[in-house]
Every structure is written in structure tokens, then in C-alpha cells.
Amino acid sequence: MQDVAEFDVVIVGTGFASTFFLKKLLESKTIKRVLVLERGSRHSYAWQVENIRNNNLEIPRPHRETGLPGKWWNYTIGFGGGSNCWWTNAMRLHPSEFELQSRYGVGIDWPISYQDLEPYYCDAEDDMLVSGDNSSSIMFPRSRPFPQPRHRYSEVGSALKAAYPDETFAMPTTRGRVANDRRGVCCAVGNCTFCPNQAKFTIVEEMGHLFEDPRVTLELEAEVLAVETSAGLASGVIYRISGQEKQARAGFIALGANGIFNPFILLKSGLTDGPVGRGIVEQIPINLTIDFTHAKTQGFSSYIGAVNHSFVDGPQRAHGAGGFVEIKNFFQARPNRDKWNNQASAVFLLGDLRNEENRVIVDPDAPDHPMVVFKDWSPYAYAGVDYVRSRLHEFFAPLGIDRIEGNFGKAGTHSHIEGTTVMGLDPRTSVIDGDLLHHKVRNLAVLGSGAFPTSPGSNPTLTIAALSLRSASRTVLGHS
Amino acid sequence: MSLSRRQVFRAVAFFSAPAGAGAYLFLHRPAGYEAIKETVKVAFGPDILSDNDLERFAEDLAPYLGHYLSQDDLLAAAEWFKNLDREAIATGDQAALEFARAAAEEAPRRFARFVATHFVESTDFAYGPSAARVRYLGLFSEWPALSAFRCAPLVDYDADDGWPT
């Protein structure tokens, strides 16, 4: 062990959770020294597009996984984390997702409500210049308008909007609708992982300046090994850099690795209180190819146009999962010159309840690495799939359908790792509280979607950012 | 274009072979290659590309079939191809074309969509779908075919902008 440096705050990771936490933190003049530890390297977005990869790691995902065949867990290690490869959907969670138990007697209520998070949703949307549809406030109440205009629907999206006007909106997204000094305009070709126009929000391009703040020390290729505690409080972290172990002391520590590595670090640190690592989950998908009688896939201004929330709420949620369906503008022609463009891909993503048999553990054969054990989604998730499946033709009928072809609940990944450091009121059934503070170690925050007590029928990123803004505000900055 | 004896032999071997071997052969000329050409004729009309462009398109695309389609997809396409009335299609017989198009959207639809998608992405068809004949611009020639067609900032369809001006 070598130098021991002192900091006000140590933040682990540079993805959405960590960077939004840092952003809020730096608003305070009382914060003088922040250490940020990033396991990967820093690559400009131009480097990523040129090299067609988001990082330079030989093993991009250093964990092992077992269980349901075909199910795998995706994330990006490197400066900016998932913002490098994300497809930029920036949805809020529906208010019902925060209170499934109260409304429908299933799962567990979150310790915070939609109203608690709403101002931070607005802040995160402003920070990321989200393009969105203000009329969506009918389902997702909002106190400020979106900072960018919504994207344009395809003909298929317009038909869906006409059929379900109060439940269909343009997908909120950080793909540029209007060019500005930060971002180009989305060209809608659907190559978002390596956006050719730099038309999407990335931390590398748009929040990298935070790490240039003189108060911030950024250590790259620094692998955090453990959180140290003393007298019931976090006292610092041990990390490895250039083959050497180092130690940093801090008055506050925020873990923002991801939903696999946050619980792994806690387990390696002996912080095993509560269901650490237990309950890993992400949305269950339904992938559709739909042939339309009249509606065409054209006229859109972004890769994903319309999103519909008809299945997110309602009495069926007592029995099965709910979620959204997005119309993708993935181009695939029909073999018919009169209907060659009358086709669209659609994806339902339905949430789930945590099952603690699905978990992140320390790999027994390689204790320096985590292992994910995922047996399956819950019967609640599959009941949701069955419900949607039974309603599909009726739901799409107003659009005029020639054929619907579907893959129901096919295992894959959506890069949403949830439920492994769950937040709640009871330390016996949760790891952190509603401010993302560890129940036992009160100067340790555990950020990210691992905090989600239920897997929502939604993309998680905006909520991750909003939770981090709220956590930093209420913990380190002391606002309530 | 008539088939050579060797091509006929390989096609017959394909259509009578067990599934694995059949799919293997279908990936290679002439069966997959001929099926691509026939799919274009069925889907977009027998004269949509010049013979030369059609040959080039099929030659370019055939090697990718096995990368993107399953054996079941290829076998379904083979069965569809086997039952085509190719002479009627070549003359532009509307009834034969309609029948073949409808059949192409059933079991062999993944194969047919794959070919149709690459046809649209590789030609200027999207700019003039009513044109009798279009040009082959090269496989995966995303520019100017696909990107320009789909890029909203470059091509405006006069659709609802969704934002007050």
C-alpha cells in the first residue's frame, strides 16, 4: 500500500449515476476535493466511432454469468459508462411504478414517490437536453417543459397516436431534434451505439468538463477493490491502479459502478447487511415485426418514434407485469412493391418483481470477479407477457394489420441492471434508503438502478440520473 | 439465363438433400443466387433491374445469406423458390406475381424481407418506387440510398413537425 490521499468525497464510476451525482456535488462551494475512480480508459467519441468500439478492453464485461440460457447482462466499462453506447431513451417512470403494492397489492412500494423525484427529472432532462412531447404530462405530470421539441412520428407512429391519443407520445430522447452547440440533429439511421452525427447525449462530449474542475481528481484504469469502514462509517476506498494498491480517505463515498459491481464491491467489503446482490432483474421483452395494411414507416425524425403506455397501468397490473411499447424505425422492406415500406418493428418492455434467487455473488472460482446467477423472470413477468400477447391484435387493429410476428420473452439483454442494492425503508429487506444512503454506513451512497425496488416497465436511465441528483442534494449538500 | 448442367445438378442436390446439406448448398450458387434474383422479380417486378444489375446484386448478396438467416429460413425459401412459376413471372403475369408475393410473405418471409430490404437499401428504388427500372448502387451503399432517404434533416416529408414555429 502506498500513498493515502484525503478527499471530501470519493465517487466510483463515471457513468450516469456517478456523473450526475458529481454534477450536483460541484454546485456546492464547500466541496473542495473529489476523487473519481474509473475502471476503464477515456476515449473521445470520435475515437469510439472511428474504432467502432466503446472501449479498448480485451474482456469488456469482467463477470461470469449462469442460469437462464441466452440471458446475458450488458454494460460498458470506460469513461462515461453506458452513455457511450446507449440508445438515448430518456423516459420517466409512470407514477404507478412507485407504488405497485399500494395500488395493486404486488411487489413493494418505492420509498419515494413520483412527486418526490419530479423536480430532479426536470433537472436531468435539462442537463441532457431531452427531446420530448409536453402533452405526455397527461400521464407523466411535469412542472417544466422539455428543453427540446419532440421528434416527429412515422406514419405508423401517427396511426398509433390517432388510435390512442392520450397514451401515445413521441419517445423522450436525447437524440437531437434541433441542432445546438452541444449536439447535431438525429439522422435516424439507427446506429446509436456509434452515432455518426454525435447527435446524442454522452458524458464524454457533454459532461466531460465536470472532470476538469480543479476540485476533481480523475483516476482512470483504477479498479476499486473495497470500501473501508471505521466506527460504523465509511473511511475510504482501496483501489488498484497500474498494478499497485492504493488507498484514498474520504468523508463520503458514492458507489456508482453498476448493478453488478456495486453489490460486488459491498460484498468484498464485508458490507453484507440486507439483500446485497439479491434480486437482479431487468425488463422482459416482446419483439414484434408488424406488417401494416396502409401505414408506412416514413416521416420520422428519430430511430424510435412513438411510445405507447396503454399497458403500463390498470387492474391487470395486479396479475402481471406492465410496460411500454416503442415503434422502432428499423428499416426492413416487405417483398411487395406496393407495400414495401408498410412494416415496423415494435418492442414491448415489461417490468418485473425482484426474485432474490436471482443474484450477484462473488464468483467462487474467481473471487476477484462477480458472478450473476439468473434463473428466470418471475411468473408475474410471464403473466404480463401472456396478457399483452392476448391483446396484441386487438391493440394494433386500429392501425390496419396484415400480420404480426413476435418473439415473446426471448432472453437477451437490454443493458438495464436493476434490483441488486435495493432501496427501501426496512434494513432487513433493503440495502439503502430513499436517499440512496446505506442503511448501516450512513456516509456511503449506492447509486444507480440497483436501487430499484421493482423493475419498472420503462427505460431506467433518466431515473438513474434523477435519483443521483436527488441523493447528492439531500445527502452531501444537506438539502431536504 | 439458363442453368448449366452443373447448376442444375447442385440445385437438384439441394432440393433433395437433407436439411443441413440443403441449407449449405442454398448458401452457394446457384440456388441462393437464383432465389435472390427471383425474389427481386417477384417483389418489385421482373424488369425492375437490368439483367446486369440483377446479376451483380445477387452475386454481392448471396454470401451474406448464411450469416443472417437460419437454416429454417433458407429451407422455407428453397421450398417457395421450387414452386415458383418462373416463366409467368418473367412475362410480368400479374396473377402469378400476386400469388408469388403473397406466398413470399408466408414461410419464406425472413428470406424475402432480407432480399427486399437490401434491394431497397442498394438501389434508388426508394426515390421512385413507381419507376419501371432502377439502378443498383452497390450493396450496403448506404449513401445516397438509405441514409438520404431516412435522414429527416435532408428529406422532409412535410409531416407534422410537432412543435410550434
Give contacts of B159 with chain A, Cβ < 8 Å.
Answer: 152-153, 158, 299
Give contacts of B112 with chain A, Cβ < 8 Å.
Answer: 334-335
Give contacts of B113 with chain A, Cβ < 8 Å.
Answer: 332-335, 343
The segment with the largest mean pLDDT, out of A15-19, B10-14, B72-76, B150-154, is: A15-19
Instruction: Tell me the three cell numbers of residue A226.
Output: 473495497
Lowest mean pLDDT among A51-60, A164-173, B31-40, B53-62: A51-60
ipTM of this model? 0.80
Nearest to A152 among B39, B101, B152 (CB): B152
Chain B: give the shortest CA distance to residue A71, in Å: 20
Chain A: give the shortest CA distance to residue B17, in Å: 27
> Are β-strands A343-350 and A352-353 bridged in parallel, bridged antiparallel, or unpaired?
unpaired
Closest by CA position to A456, among listed A347, A358, A327, A323 = A323
Tell me whether A191 touches chain B (CB under 8 Å): no
Give contacts of B37 with chain A, Cβ < 8 Å.
Answer: none
Which of A334, A339, A403 best tests the B interface by mutation, with the highest count of B CBs <10 A? A334
Tell me whether A300 touches chain B (CB under 8 Å): yes
Structure-model confidence comparison of residues B26 and B110, the more confident one: B110
Dist CA A318 CA B96 (whole Å): 52
Question: CA angle, A99 as apex, A393 and A254 as ends, to 5°?
Answer: 115
Mean pLDDT of chain B: 75
Residue pair A436/A471 in contact by the 8 Å Cβ criterion = yes
pLDDT of residue B138: 87
Residue pair A337/B129 in contact by the 8 Å Cβ criterion = yes
Nearest to A334 among B113, B142, B147 (CB): B113
pLDDT of residue A196: 77
B112 to chain A: nearest residue by CA?
A335
Check whether B8 has a pLDDT greater than 60: no
Contact A337 B153 (CB under 8 A): no
pLDDT of residue B23: 57
Question: Under 8 Å CB-to-CB from A454, ≥6 apart: which residues?
Answer: A97, A100, A107, A108, A110, A351, A352, A353, A354, A419
Question: Under 8 Å CB-to-CB from A291, ≥6 apart: which residues?
Answer: A334, A339, A342, A343, A401, A402, A403, A404, A405, B105
What is the per-residue burial (b if ≥16 Cβ within 10 Å, else e) of B27-55? bebbbbbbbbbbbbbbbbbbebbeeebbe
pLDDT of residue A1: 52
Lowest mean pLDDT among A118-132, B58-72, B129-143: B129-143
Contact A151 B162 (CB under 8 A): yes
Contact A133 B162 (CB under 8 A): yes
> Are β-strands A323-328 and A304-308 bridged in parallel, bridged antiparallel, or unpaired?
antiparallel
Residue pair A265/A360 in contact by the 8 Å Cβ criterion = no
The H-or-E segment that residue B80 falls in is helix B71-82
Dist CA B3 CA B11 (whole Å): 10
pLDDT of residue A426: 97
A148 to chain B: nearest residue by CA?
B163
Chain B: give the shortest CA distance to residue A406, in Å: 13
Chain A: give the shortest CA distance to residue B82, in Å: 17
Contact B152 A158 (CB under 8 A): no
Phi and psi, residue A38, nearest 5°: -120, 130
Check whether B125 has a pLDDT greater than 90: no
Dist CA A130 CA A135 (whole Å): 14
pLDDT of residue B27: 55
Chain A: give the shortest CA distance to residue B153, in Å: 7
Tell me whether A175 touches chain B (CB under 8 Å): no
| CA A283 to mean position of chain CA atoms | 11
Contact A334 B42 (CB under 8 A): no
In chain A, which residues have pLDDT < 50?
Answer: none
Contact A300 B152 (CB under 8 A): yes
Instruction: Tell me the three cell numbers of residue A175.
Output: 437524440
Question: Under 8 Å CB-to-CB from A108, ≥6 apart: which residues?
Answer: A100, A101, A424, A429, A453, A454
Instruction: Tell me the three cell numbers of residue A338.
Output: 406496393
Give contacts of B147 with chain A, Cβ < 8 Å.
Answer: 187, 189
Unique residue bearing C-alpha cell 452475386: B59
Nearest to A150 among B157, B159, B163 (CB): B163
* A42 three-class SS: coil
- Burial (CB < 10 A; 0-12, 13-18, 19+), residue A323, is buried
Chain B: give the shortest CA distance to residue A466, in Å: 26
Instruction: Tell me the three cell numbers of residue A87.
Output: 440508445
Residue pair A202/A80 in contact by the 8 Å Cβ criterion = yes
Closest by CA position to A36, among listed A81, A76, A73 = A81
Residues of B with CB under 8 A from a CB of A: 39, 42-45, 48, 101, 104-105, 109, 112-113, 115-117, 119-121, 125, 129, 142, 146-147, 150-154, 157, 159-163
Tell me whether A328 touches chain B (CB under 8 Å): no
Reported as a pLDDT band with limits 50, 70 and 90, residue B67 is confident
Pairs of CB atoms within 8 A across A/B: 94
Give contacts of B109 with chain A, Cβ < 8 Å.
Answer: 335, 405
Chain B: give the shortest CA distance to residue A388, in Å: 24
Tell me whether A185 touches chain B (CB under 8 Å): yes
Dist CA A418 CA A262 (whole Å): 11
Tell me whether A336 touches chain B (CB under 8 Å): yes
Chain A: give the shortest CA distance to residue B157, in Å: 6
Contact B157 A158 (CB under 8 A): no
Give contacts of A151 with chain B, Cβ < 8 Å.
Answer: 162
CA of A71: how far to CAs of A38, A250, A373, A421, in Å? 27, 38, 10, 20
Contact B162 A186 (CB under 8 A): no
The H-or-E segment that residue A290 falls in is strand A284-292
Check whether B15 has a pLDDT greater than 70: no
Nearest to B162 among A152, A186, A291 (CB): A152
Dist CA A321 CA A379 (whole Å): 9
Reported as a pLDDT band with limits 50, 70 and 90, residue B141 is low
Closest by CA position to B111, among listed B33, B52, B46 = B33
- Burial (CB < 10 A; 0-12, 13-18, 19+), residue A165, is exposed
Question: Under 8 Å CB-to-CB from A189, ≥6 apart: which residues?
Answer: A196, A303, B142, B146, B147, B150, B151
Q: Which of the 8 DSSP states describes residue A197?
A: T
Reported as a pLDDT band with limits 50, 70 and 90, residue B128 is confident
pLDDT of residue A358: 98
Contact A337 B121 (CB under 8 A): no
Residues A244-254: pLDDT tens digits? 999 999 999 99
Instruction: Tell me the three cell numbers of residue A54.
Output: 466503446
Q: What residue type is A200 in one-letter code?
A: K
Residue pair A445/A271 in contact by the 8 Å Cβ criterion = no
DSSP string, A364-395: TT-TTSEEEEE----HHHHHHHHHHHHHHHHH
Closest by CA position to B90, among listed B37, B128, B53 = B37
Give contacts of A153 with chain B, Cβ < 8 Å.
Answer: 159-160, 162
